[in-house]
Structure 1
Amino acid sequence: MSDLTTTLLNCQSPDVTIRQNAEQTLKSAEQSNFAEFANALAQELATEGKDLTVRQLAGIHFKNLLVAKEESLQQSKHQAWMNMDAAMRSSVKATLLAAIRSPENIARHTAAQACAEVAAVELPYKQWPEFLPTLMENVTSNDQPDAVKISTLECLGFSCDRIAQLETVDIDPATTDGMLTAIVDGIRADRPDPIRLSAATALRNSLLFTRKNMETKAERDMILQAICEATQSADAKVREAAYECICQIAYQYYDKLADYMVTLFNLTTTAIKEDAENVALQAIEFWSTLCEEEIDLIEEQYHCQMSNIPVTRQCMSYVKGALETLGPLLTITLTKQDEDYNSDDDVWGIAMAAATCLKLVSQTVEDDVVGVVFPFVQQHIKSENWRFREAATMAFSSILDGPSSETIGPYVNQSIPILLQALSDQHDMVKDTSAWTIGKICELHVRAIPHETFPTLVEGLMSKLLTENPSISSQSAYAIHNLALAFADDDQAEKSGSNALSPYMGPLLQTLLQVTDREDADDNNLRFSAFEAISALIQYSAPDCSPMLQELLPVIVQRLNATFSVSALTNEDKERNEGVQGLLCGLIQVLVLKIDAQFIPPHADSIMQNLLQVLQVKNATCHEEAFSATSAVCDKMESEFKKYLPALAPFLVMGLKNFQAYHVCSIAVGLVGDIARAIEKEILPYCNDIMTALVESLQNQNLHRSVKPPVLSCFGDIALAVAEGFEPYLQVSMMMLMQASQTTMPDDDEEIIDFINQLREGVLEAFTGIIQGLKDGGRVDLFQVYLPTIMQFLQTLSAEENKDYEVLSKAAGLLGDIASAMGPPVKPQLSNPFVIALLSDTYQNGDETTKETCNWARGVIEQVCR
């Protein structure tokens, strides 16, 4: 390039034309001669006396030659670098290494990043032999200034981070040894703090792929000693970085901690008590990390015991061993709340970290936490100091998730009156935390709430919905939501016709609806919390509330109608209004599903008019909820729903083709199935457009894979509805189903295995619907040509080592349907030994419903095969 300096500067020009021309010039240079362009950028970065902005831009552009978020593009960029002439590459690398020794900080720092990108490409392939010796010399030589040592350690840290991100697994041990040696040398106690900080940061990044070193005790001791010494630095940033390393070790090398736990316990607990907040946060994070590891190990041990297999990894119960000290330390740390409390802020502070850690401790040690934490709660929950009142309440809420209800229940029983009183505390933070704690109690230990306090509890929460700030009102709505959920499986209500919430349903619903109209309802998720509470109250209401819900339905429909006249001047206004529309559609869905079908027709026209108006807005964020509400109406209206299809069909097809918003597409697919079951052959005039959209969705590579199993199943719903009318769509449907059935199962990718099992369920449901539909329409003969391939698919499922019995249950049902629909002509196929083997295996491993299916299928097949 003739004038790279000017071009780089022009990339920063405020003039769009100049900037775009400069960017295009750089892109053209990269494409026309990659090697020359890379060399020119390196020279621009390394040349002393150049404008520092230009040098920095050159380094950033060089780095971007090798970096991409998308994996295939990343590989392409790396390949372009490796395709360069070796001599040219060596020259560029030497230039970059020299730039790390620049007297200018910006140039050194940028060169460190550029070198790291090259190292990430070459080191895994044992290239660039000069890299580590040069960096080692920079760090250990007395001739190099501290600034160069810092940039060098930055380079090592960047390199480790990039190699780890690229998930390169085969790093040469000599390479990691060399990098680690340089880093540990930089973290030595006799080094200046800025050097130690860079070294500690680099060490944290290197821990991702230094397992060989950590497996060797002598090297592990050396690494841990260096880190522990760094926790005693006079510089808080160095101490913070050292504790970050300790957290990383706890996460990656839990099984290697035994020799160091006494030291780590002493260091971290002292740091939590005495050190600066940024350091104490990392010390708390160490214990949070240990808790998460031990929770996983305890669960793993449980599954091993239940499956009668050996336990491969032991839980060392470090958290339980530290509980007597750690519990009180965390509770006193809860009193270090932010001075400037603001419920709108979500600033991570030491008190929040302590609460999170205490929750994890509770989940780890379960019942044992109660005796350690509750003395603090009981002593301070009525303290004159608001900090201790709030901390005691937060401590209580933090441990609710661990102990059994039997252990913590008596404390919950005693706490309700105190917490209700605290809802009127003088300090907002105490009120906020008290409301949150009541919500957690309602979620986790509702049975421990005394019956006699129930009225006071409901009225106390309701009284805070309109009068308090949004945070406290939101927490109160959350508590009411959880209280409603407690009646989800209330068999007694079905017998008696009422439950404990029934007397309060009217006031609660009325008050919560008022909350959704508050001017500050956007704050602290208040509006959403109120709608969630209303939805739960409706969903789990007792039968005696039915007349009230019938009166509420037109009110909610009218509220939805009113949203169409709200003026949206900004995108924010539009999004807010669509959010409200989505929430109202959700309430309509819940109400329609809850109310008896006989009461829906008088309101159906009004409901559908409003839902269709929601669907008219292109790219609205509430289409998913509108389709779900439509599905509820369809479910209750059954065959009468057909009158809405002429107006609905265009929007339904648009939803089926909404491949980008795949949740909308998925709900639309489900709605098609609901409509097909409800109106049966009346759906036939719309099948061309619907089937075209469904086939397009299967062919679209960008559609989220979770949508494809229900699409396949939907073929069966339509076929069952239209019977012989499915003939025009049979060939393309069967082609798609056959193709999906051939998807091979991987050995060890659980996510893909789950998806393929879902895909197979969709395929089997479709086959079942199609054969039943063709049988009903007297055209089962059309199915004959596909039978050999289907039987081969079923035999494959039967022979798989890792069988999914949900899939096999549907396979058993399909075999019965084939026998029932096609009779004696399919006797040769059904006489195959795999058929009886599949039914027997599925019966032995299935639930009662599956066993009934197997018995029915076996009986039908035996009749055919006589």
Structure 2
Amino acid sequence: MSAWTPQETGVHQICYLLAEVQKPGTNQAQILSQLEQCKKFPDFNNYLAFIISQGDNLPVEVRQSAGLLLKNNIKVDYASTTDEYRRYIKLALLHAISNPSKPLRHVVGTNIAVIVVAGGLAAWPELLLQMVQCLESSDAAALEGALDALYKICEEAPGQLEVEVPLGGKAERPNNLLVPRLLALFGSPVEDAKCLAVSILNLLAGGMPQALADNMEMYMTSLFKLAHDPSSGARKGVCTGLVQLLHLQPERLAPHLPDIIEYMLRSMQESDEGVALESCEFWSAFCEASVEPEVLRPYLPRLVPALMRNMMYGEFDEEVLAAESAEEELAAAAGAVAAAGLVVGADPGDKDLKPFHARSAGRHEDDTDDDDGEEVSRWNLRKCSAAGLDVLATVFAGELLPITLPIINERLREDDWRARESAILALGAISEGCAAGLLTHLAEMVSVLLPKLADARPLVRSITCWSLSRYARWLVQAAREAGAVGVAQFDSVLAGLLGRVRDHNRQVQEAACSALATLEEAAGGVLVPRLPAILDTLAGAVPVYSRRNLRLLYDSLSTLADAVGPALAEPAALRTIMPPLVLKWQALGDTDRELLPLLECLTSLAQALGPAFEPYAEAMYERCMRIVAMQLQAREAVAAGQAALIEPEREFIICALDLVSGLAEGLGAGLDTLVGRSLLRPLLLQCCQDPSADVRQSAFALVGDLSKACQPHLAAIAGDLIALGVASLQPAMIRQDTMSACNNACWALGELAVKSAPEELGPYALAVVERLVPILSAPVGSMPRSIIENSAITLGRVAWICPAALAPHLGHFCGAWCAALRSIRDDVEKEHAFLGLAALLRLNPEAALDAWSALCEALASWRHIRCEGLLNELTQLLHLYKANLVSAGRWEQYLALLQPAVYEKLGHMFAL
């Protein structure tokens, strides 16, 4: 080992605490507090490592606990651990890697991977040497211990296996040493070792290191040899590897595809679900790969029925048992309140709620569905088979209908509810790909599915909601185009889904709310005459839904607000939906996490209702300010090592800021009084420099919205806000994980600029340009389109206000700027940008000649310039360019640089 040695009393004390914390009935908080005190000793981690490696007489549970505690400590403390203590911990782990106890080896492997992540493999050459020795060892424990650690390294830090490690006076890439030995283990008599070796190489294949690329033929041959191995774990690894190769190098598998397809068809029917599931992934991979679909066509008559067999619930499926059990428990309660027209939402799973993740504000970018913290259901063979059928339908379209429809029709008539449920699942799965053939049967399908919404089985009701939602687009189209029949069909589906929103089963409620949101999104204004029924249902569910399902209910209401907008501001609609939401709002504390999705829902309502939201604005604005202030104070206390009154959670800051943004967007100048008498300004400055990118994202969104709604109240801090926006756009700050915050900072800078006076904006104008030009000049595809467009608009707005400061530099960015302006849609922001461009061209016309094509293409990108002043300005500029170039004898030369369509459009728009 090393020079450090433990004291016997210290070992006994820590072992006692580790043993006590596992005993039922003990004061765990007190014991954990004592362990926390032990962490103050600089060699505490050494004691844990000693217990792991040398505690042979201790219960394995105690040694495991020591390992888990060590793992957590290393993640936090490794950088501050001395070299001497690091050496001891590493040696202890290497000693324990071959321990006879599999659970102990498992925790040792976890610690090894954590150290590699924290300190790198190059700083631990002894680990690589021991890995090589263990992979060649006949000791099964040593072999499996090394493979377990290596698998975890591949999961957490695969790049470390390509970093050169000093060994014996020369540098070696670990993969060069490990890959050949892993391939040799494909024939190991030790089952776990063989399975782990396959799994590790499958993981490595995702990054395709050179060592594996050089051995690709051997890798493929070895996978083929294991295809009929008696170990189901090995066969599962074969399926995973082949699916991986189909994604990465489909051309290598092309000659073998008929045999692989046959193999996957057989494997998909195996009793081992792991093998069946991995083989089922092949069909989606095949359809997404660059492979000729003709290869698969002859197998469709066998493949589709096989997928549909796997789409049936098993008799003892956990999801079935849970749903049926909940149905029995809730049936009695549902009957008790049915007469009152309420729903029952008892949810024993609320105690297991996953964390809520706020959907922070964004500007000028596509909305994406963030994970809202709902419990994610387990991916299984049934869902994978349905996904495979879905993808097959997109490739083979109507060819699947003669195969699928007879099976679906037969199953719909069966007594077994599982068969009926799988048929409905299949109808939803093929909806997109087979739309052309199915839509002629839309009325018939709806008439078949609607009664299933009232099925006695909750999972049938649930899947029917989903399946109907898959046809939402066509249901809406029929309502708009097919006259009374289409309208009646749409109304019947809407009524059916609303009925399931009132269902007594939690799982059905979830499916119904999600389906309703999908239908709302597709329907838009079609919903306006139907608002009373929708709002009555949603309002009735608010007071009785469970915490988990309230999130989905709020989402349905938010989607409705986005779909119908100001129609929700009608007095009758307000009287229906706002009272239950206000009651919920008043009942929740400022730190209750159930408040978070309600804040998001109210944000959407504030935006949709506009001035009609004013009666609720003051209370909500003031509470949001209180929440932000309280959270920031708690964060400051924790950062200073002081006790905080609450546990700080950034989601509360984000949701509160977003609601204030919604109020600003909805009320506009109506928010002026509230902002004027609050402490918003210092809070906003603090949030715009918050360590969390998500908080900055919402803060800058609010800056932009307030600039539009009540800019005078920001005047006192406008300079500080501009400086913070500029700081947020430093190259080092623009990363994938911070992109949305940077995008909002860029947008907010433009909104601040356009409301500023030249003398206010002037000191920051060049700094803004210095930050935006690298974004505009970035290589194609390296920056999201949204931040490029925002940069082009903001640059134009700054140029419009401060043209003299920017005009001398126009030649450095004119081409990239015009290229970005070309893709922006016609609106007031584009007008501002071109007003700025025109202002710079007036002062420095020569600078644009080197970017003549880009300039003309940007001008031709307009469909219609509504701003008469801008149109006149651009017309004059182009005619000046033409006159000067004609007089210099260069007009024909510059004209030749343009595409004929561009010149033709310029001539039409600007009489050129």
| TM-score scaled by length of structure 2 | 0.71
**Which residue, 137, 141, 144 being the options, matches 1:147?**
141
Compute the displacement of 1:516 (Å).
Answer: 2.1
Which amino acid in 2 is paired with 1:633? G
**Which residue, 706, 710, 717 being the options, matches 2:740?**
706
| SS of residue in 2 equivalent to 1:504 | helix
Separation in 2, partners of 1:48, 1:672: 59
Separation in 2, partners of 1:750, 1:376: 45
Partner of 2:367: none
Which amino acid in 1 is paired with 2:565? Q
Which amino acid in 2 is paired with 1:797? A
Which amino acid in 2 is paired with 1:687? A
Separation in 2, partners of 1:183, 1:230: 14
Aligned pairs (5 A) from 1:461-500: 461-488=497-524
Q: Does 1:523 align with 2:554?
A: no
Separation in 2, partners of 1:685, 1:177: 63
> Which one is further off, 359-368 or 854-863?
854-863
Separation in 2, partners of 1:689, 1:227: 65
Task: Please tell me the root mean square deviation across aligned C-alpha atoms, in Å.
Answer: 4.7
Partner of 2:423: 392
Compute the displacement of 1:258 (Å).
Answer: 1.9
Contact 1:470/1:521, CA 8 A, preserved across alignment:
no
CA pair 348-842 structure 1, distance change in 2 beyond 3 A: closer
| SS of residue in 1 equivalent to 2:716 | helix
Which amino acid in 2 is paired with 1:805? R
Partner of 2:605: 587
Report the count of equivalent residues.
764
Question: Deviation digits for residues 815-838 of structure 1, max 9, x if unmatched?
Answer: 755766997xx3x65576347555
Compute the displacement of 1:150 (Å).
Answer: 2.8
CA pair 788-326 structure 1, distance change in 2 beyond 3 A: same
Question: Deviation digits for residues 614-666 of structure 1, max 9, x if unmatched?
Answer: 4233134632442243234334xx5x66444423x533653454244656655
Compute the displacement of 1:334 (Å).
Answer: 1.1
Q: Does 1:696 align with 2:724?
A: yes
CA pair 60-712 structure 1, distance change in 2 beyond 3 A: closer
Partner of 2:310: 333
Partner of 1:3: 6
Partner of 1:597: none
Separation in 1, partners of 2:506, 2:66: 50
Q: Does 1:684 align with 2:684?
A: no
Q: Does 1:416 align with 2:450?
A: no
Separation in 2, partners of 1:161, 1:795: 46
**Which residue, 196, 200, 211 being the options, matches 1:198?**
196
Contact 1:715/1:733, CA 8 A, preserved across alignment:
no
Contact 1:336/1:387, CA 8 A, preserved across alignment:
yes
Contact 2:50/2:92, CA 8 A, preserved across alignment:
yes
Q: Does 1:857 align with 2:874?
A: yes
Q: Does 1:289 align with 2:285?
A: yes
Partner of 2:345: none
Question: Deviation digits for residues 494-552 of structure 1, max 9, x if unmatched?
Answer: xxxxx5x55533222222211222243643844225424642563396xxxx8x82332
Aligned pairs (5 A) from 1:243-262: 243-262=239-258
Compute the displacement of 1:327 (Å).
Answer: 1.3
Separation in 1, partners of 2:706, 2:98: 72
| SS of residue in 2 equivalent to 1:464 | helix
CA pair 453-705 structure 1, distance change in 2 beyond 3 A: closer
Which amino acid in 2 is paired with 1:528? Y
**Which residue, 644, 648, 654 being the options, matches 2:683?**
654
Contact 2:542/2:580, CA 8 A, preserved across alignment:
no
Separation in 1, partners of 2:626, 2:132: 64
Question: Deviation digits for residues 96-143 of structure 1, max 9, x if unmatched?
Answer: 7665555555665566667778889557999988546523530xxxxx
CA pair 24-386 structure 1, distance change in 2 beyond 3 A: same
Contact 1:42/1:96, CA 8 A, preserved across alignment:
yes
Compute the displacement of 1:202 (Å).
Answer: 3.4
Contact 2:607/2:662, CA 8 A, preserved across alignment:
yes
> Which one is further off, 506-515 or 121-130?
121-130
| SS of residue in 2 equivalent to 1:622 | helix
Which amino acid in 2 is paired with 1:327? V
CA pair 746-201 structure 1, distance change in 2 beyond 3 A: farther
Q: Does 1:183 align with 2:182?
A: yes
Compute the displacement of 1:609 (Å).
Answer: 2.0
> Which one is further off, 556-565 or 115-124?
115-124
| SS of residue in 2 equivalent to 1:191 | coil
| SS of residue in 2 equivalent to 1:336 | coil
Aligned pairs (5 A) from 1:70-81: none
Which amino acid in 1 is paired with 2:621? L
CA pair 316-124 structure 1, distance change in 2 beyond 3 A: farther
Contact 2:455/2:461, CA 8 A, preserved across alignment:
yes
Aligned pairs (5 A) from 1:185-584: 185-188=184-187, 191-208=189-206, 212=210, 215=213, 219-291=215-287, 293-294=288-289, 297=290, 315=292, 319-320=296-297, 322-337=299-314, 338=317, 339-342=320-323, 346-403=377-434, 405-443=435-473, 446-447=476-477, 451=486, 452-488=488-524, 501=527, 503-520=529-546, 522-523=548-549, 525-532=551-558, 534-535=560-561, 538-539=564-565, 549-553=570-574, 556-563=577-584, 565-566=586-587, 568=589, 574-584=592-602
| SS of residue in 2 equivalent to 1:387 | helix
Separation in 2, partners of 1:15, 1:812: 66
Q: Does 1:797 align with 2:816?
A: yes
Contact 2:202/2:241, CA 8 A, preserved across alignment:
yes
CA pair 418-4 structure 1, distance change in 2 beyond 3 A: farther
CA pair 15-806 structure 1, distance change in 2 beyond 3 A: same
| SS of residue in 1 equivalent to 2:269 | helix
Separation in 1, partners of 2:603, 2:49: 59
| SS of residue in 1 equivalent to 2:500 | coil
Separation in 2, partners of 1:664, 1:514: 34
Separation in 2, partners of 1:421, 1:751: 51
Separation in 1, partners of 2:549, 2:251: 45
Question: Deviation digits for residues 543-570 of structure 1, max 9, x if unmatched?
Answer: xxx8x823323555555543454254x9
Which amino acid in 1 is paired with 2:203? N
Partner of 1:780: none
CA pair 7-794 structure 1, distance change in 2 beyond 3 A: same
Separation in 2, partners of 1:678, 1:103: 69
Which amino acid in 2 is paired with 1:566? A
| TM-score scaled by length of structure 1 | 0.74
Contact 2:186/2:194, CA 8 A, preserved across alignment:
yes
CA pair 652-457 structure 1, distance change in 2 beyond 3 A: farther
Contact 2:243/2:281, CA 8 A, preserved across alignment:
yes
Separation in 2, partners of 1:182, 1:365: 43
> Which one is further off, 275-284 or 149-158?
149-158
Separation in 1, partners of 2:627, 2:579: 22
Contact 1:247/1:286, CA 8 A, preserved across alignment:
yes
CA pair 520-149 structure 1, distance change in 2 beyond 3 A: closer
CA pair 179-316 structure 1, distance change in 2 beyond 3 A: farther
Compute the displacement of 1:15 (Å).
Answer: 4.2
Partner of 2:663: 630
Contact 2:793/2:832, CA 8 A, preserved across alignment:
no
Partner of 2:894: none
Separation in 1, partners of 2:89, 2:615: 72
Separation in 1, partners of 2:253, 2:663: 57
Structure 2: gaps spanning 5 or more residues: 18-29, 166-170, 327-348, 350-374, 480-484, 629-651, 885-912
Structure 1: gaps spanning 5 or more residues: 31-36, 139-143, 298-313, 491-498, 593-599, 772-782
Which amino acid in 1 is paired with 2:740? S
Compute the displacement of 1:282 (Å).
Answer: 1.7
Separation in 2, partners of 1:209, 1:455: 51
